[in-house]
Amino acid sequence: MILMTLAACDNGGEGSRKQGYAAVEELKSERIGVLLGSTHDRYAASHFPQAQIFQYKSPSDMVVAVKSGKVDAAIYSSAELEELMRQQQDIGIIGKSLYSTMLAMAFHKGDDELRTSFNRFLASIKQNGVYDDMSTRWTKTGNHEMPVIPESKPATGTLVVGMVHDMGFPFITVQNNRLVGFNVEMLDRFGVFVGRKIEYVSLDFGSLIAALESRKIDMIGSVISITPERAKSVDFSDPYYEEQAKVFALKKNIAGAIPETDKKSDGNILTRFLSGTAESFQSNIIQENRWRLIVRGLWVTVVISFLSTLFGTVLGGAVCFLRMSNNVFFRSFARAYISVMRGTPVLVVLMLIFYVVFASVNIDPVVVAVFAFGMNFAAYAAEIYRAGIEGIDRGQREAGIAMGFSRTETFRHIIIPQTVMRILPVYKGEFISLVKMTSIVGYIAVQDLTKASDIIRSRTFDAFFPIIMVAVLYYFISWTLLLFIGYLEKTINPRFKRRTVPQQA
């Protein structure tokens, strides 16, 4: 982010932009935005070798980058762009289309049964006019209602489909807290066709093929074009749509385009700010009941944080026990565990567990997240415990034993209560960083708070409001949980419930 900002400053390029771009060729040494891993990405790299290429993880990020001037122009697909321009009047298309690609569904290599059945389904809807109706509704008229799809027979079994949920109209997006779009309707219909219930899994574009290869999903239903390279790892269906790659930019930077007049130019700064905020609040939270998405994400974040802390606390105790054991094997095992867990990013651990360890198991990604964060937390917790226990002088343990307590009783009545009081302040800090760390679970298809804001941004293209809101909410979660631990700290510290000398003599 900082890098991009810096680059934006370096390459202000005001001079070259005065006239505005008239043709794609004029972009050859400018800043160009693309979707990470898309065909546009490769095209830009080979055709604009002198340009600075910025890769974005979601279309909304890319659009926001264009609108805020972080990039001069971006490459995107025609159908999505048409939809986008219906909503965002200040962007326009430069020149003609660059090339065309074919969109298709992707299946496991060798899963011919499912693939041919999809091809048969595609041929049938093309024949009976359903396809034409769908394509007109979603891509031409701007009608975003999902039709009721008649079910012929009750579904037997499920079909897990991975897709990028915040792709944007017309193909896949979230509206009124529901997944809608051309692809969604087509897949729902396909589900009825094969008599299976479709289960949608939200993934990043970059994780789609990995998820398919590790059999986390049965097929990719996202917007993905056929390339020879991808065809090496997956099998594609017949193409269902032809897309044009086009370059778009802000209208004021395009030669001949008429920029929108700024509607908010009246009034002073304060009223403009207030009305802007109110508008953002309306579009990001109220509209389509988007707050529900946030509440659900909030709940997921809280659940993951809480359960991983619980799991990590217990596991940390076990690791600490091994670490302090007299057995050389146990001790070195624990030492290795701690050093590996502390030395690798939790994101890597998360992905490894999801895509490698549990590759062939159908497991709730929330459980995987709890595992991964818990394992990471345990490594830190174990060392915290150890420091706490070793910090208590040997004499107190000896006193306990000399009084007639067994080793375990001494540990329980004398060592543990003191350790807990000592470690809580450090433990609190670790806990907060865990809460914030959970914001990466979007990588394994969990819709947490961060992901919820991504989805909202994909619809509203508002860079500021959802991010600030998420920041405030994270702060709020940490603060509440801290209050809770603070309360715990008080109740277990005997000094807070100190009694006074009774008056009896």
Which residues of the shown chain bind another protein in the complex (CB under 8 A)?
392-393, 395-396, 398-406, 409, 413-414, 417-418, 421, 494-495, 498-501
- 243 is written with which tokens? 């897309």
Question: Least distance from C-beta 399 to another protein, angstroms?
Answer: 4
d(CA 347, CA 440): 7
d(CA 120, CA 123): 5
Choice between 314 and 399, CB closer to another protein:
399
Choice between 120 and 412, CB closer to another protein:
412
Choice between 194 and 392, CB closer to another protein:
392
CA separation, residue 123 to residues 117, 134, 418 (Å): 10, 14, 72
* Helices 464-492 and 416-437, axial angle in degrees (round to 10): 170
Question: Least distance from C-beta 418 to another protein, angstroms?
Answer: 5
Residue recorded with tokens 């990028």? 164
Choice between 339 and 396, CB closer to another protein:
396
DSSP 356-385: IITTTS---HHHHHHHHHHHHHHHHHHHHH
- 292 is written with which tokens? 């529900």
Amino acid at 222: S
DSSP 406: -
CB of 458 closer than 8 Å to CB of 59 = yes
Question: Least distance from C-beta 317 to another protein, angstroms?
Answer: 19
Question: Least distance from C-beta 494 to another protein, angstroms?
Answer: 6
Question: Least distance from C-beta 388 to another protein, angstroms?
Answer: 12
- 489 is written with which tokens? 């700290």
d(CA 144, CA 147): 9
> How many other C-beta atoms can be found within 10 angstroms of the C-beta atom of residue 41?
16
Exposed/middle/buried for residue 119 (C-beta within 10 Å: 0-12, 13-18, 19+): middle
Choice between 149 and 402, CB closer to another protein:
402
Q: What angle do CA 32, 38, 44 make, to 5 degrees?
A: 35
Choice between 342 and 407, CB closer to another protein:
407
Choice between 329 and 496, CB closer to another protein:
496
Choice between 141 and 408, CB closer to another protein:
408
> How many other C-beta atoms can be found within 10 angstroms of the C-beta atom of residue 169?
23
Q: If you count them, how many residues does the chain have? A: 505
CB of 167 closer than 8 Å to CB of 458 = yes
Question: Least distance from C-beta 412 to another protein, angstroms?
Answer: 9
Collapsing DSSP to helix, strand or coil, 53 comes out as strand
d(CA 389, CA 316): 13
Q: Are strands 173-175 and 178-180 parallel, antiparallel or unpaired?
A: antiparallel
First to last CA, the chain: 71
Provide CB contacts within 8 A for 290, sequence distance 6+. 177, 284, 456, 459
Choice between 132 and 409, CB closer to another protein:
409
How much is the CA Rg of the chain, to the nearest whole Å? 28
